[in-house]
A and B are shown apart, each in its own frame.
Chain A
Amino acid sequence: EVQLVETGGGLVKPGGSLRLSCTTSGFTFSSYGMNWVRQAPGKGLEWVSFISSSSGISYMFYADSVKGRFTTSRDNAKNALYLQLNSLRDEDTAVYYCARVCGGDCQNFDYWGQGTLVTVSS
């Protein structure tokens, strides 16, 4: 059974940093691209970042709203995905989900975690 579990959320002051983790099981993690998607309270889904599978050189893409502040990475030995959040702003408050891209050149997210809440407030 495919499972994605996010951890690391919490309360942080504006300008602060946080590191989110997504621990996975039930599939060959290194073979899949992975994403972070967030959802502000009462708002819609917003894609945050993508990291490719580890076949070849990994590449990353970021939403314009987080580029230069957030960094996504992966540790295939630990089957884990990470998101480093720096220079946090009030508007970064959201539930952060990790989501698997369905494989190969697939363009949708077939499995999601339950999310971890990040609250940015003074």
Chain B
Amino acid sequence: SYVLTQPPSMSVAPGKTARITCGGNNIGSKSVHWYQQKPGQAPVLVISYDSDRPSGIPERFSGSNSGNTAALTISRVEAGDEADYYCQVWDSSSDHFVFGTGTKVTVL
């Protein structure tokens, strides 16, 4: 089955940039979606189709996808960005949706 690997955690200072990676075999050939989940809450879609921002998501959130790595970049990080972030793809070879392992972002 298709596996998506993310770093377990990262720390970033307010105002700086956080780049969260999502590794998968030839992930550049798939569409990658990103979710933010705060404690006790349901996930929220923050990036769809590699780099599209849904309505209401700040421009500080951006995405990229190439080769074996996709990335979510959060610019000018704020305290409210502290959350878990998950990447997700549709694996057509198995007819499965797949989530990444998740990254906990801590704002210092």
- Residue numbers of A with Cβ under 8 A of B are 35, 37, 44-47, 50, 61, 63-64, 97, 102, 107-110, 112-115
Jot down 27 A-B pairs with beta carbons below 8 A, ordered by A. A44-B99, A44-B100, A44-B101, A45-B37, A45-B102, A47-B96, A47-B97, A47-B98, A63-B96, A64-B1, A97-B43, A102-B48, A107-B31, A107-B33, A107-B89, A107-B90, A108-B48, A109-B35, A109-B43, A109-B45, A110-B45, A112-B42, A112-B43, A113-B42, A114-B41, A114-B42, A115-B42
Once the chains are docked, how many angstroms separate the CA of A113 from the CA of B41?
A: 9
- Give how many B residues have a beta carbon under 8 Å from the other chain's beta carbons: 26
Q: Are B97 and A35 in contact (CB under 8 A)?
A: yes
Once the chains are docked, how many angstroms separate the CA of A102 from the CA of B98?
A: 16
Main secondary structure of the interface of A (DSSP, over half): strand
* B96: chain A residues within 8 A (beta carbon): 47, 61, 63
Choose among A50, A102, A115 the residue that contacts B97 (Cβ–Cβ < 8 A).
Answer: A50
- Residue numbers of B with Cβ under 8 A of A are 1, 31, 33, 35, 37, 41-45, 48-49, 54, 84, 86, 88-90, 95-102
Once the chains are docked, how many angstroms separate the CA of A44 from the CA of B9?
A: 13
Once the chains are docked, how many angstroms separate the CA of A109 from the CA of B90?
A: 11
